[in-house]
Amino acid sequence: MNKVFLAVTLLFLGGCNATYNEAVNRQMADGYRWVEIPCRQANPDVPAITIDAPSGQKLVCNVLRK
């Protein structure tokens, strides 16, 4: 279910940030894959697809790892 949500989110946001998409595509070509992690607060210095929590926090729940 989470993988479907991630895929739909990525497709929906596909045209929103070309720089982010280029970075993800380059990393995936280098062997990185999406890994689900326990949700944590997003680092504002790192490009990310975030989830806006009711508390106002921006959360990250998936990362690219080699």
The pLDDT value given to residue 57: 92
46, 27 contact by CB (below 8 A):
no
User: Average pLDDT for residues 17-23, to the nearest whole number?
Assistant: 76
Which single residue is written with the structure tokens 């992690």?
A: 37
Q: Where are the alpha helices (DSSP H) in the chain?
A: 2-12, 18-29
Query: Against a cut of 0.85, is the pTM above it?
Result: no
How many angstroms separate the CA atoms of 36 and 17, rounded? 22
The pLDDT value given to residue 58: 92
What residues form DSSP beta bridges with 41? 59
Residues 19-28 as b or e (16 or more Cβ within 10 Å = b): eeeeebeeee
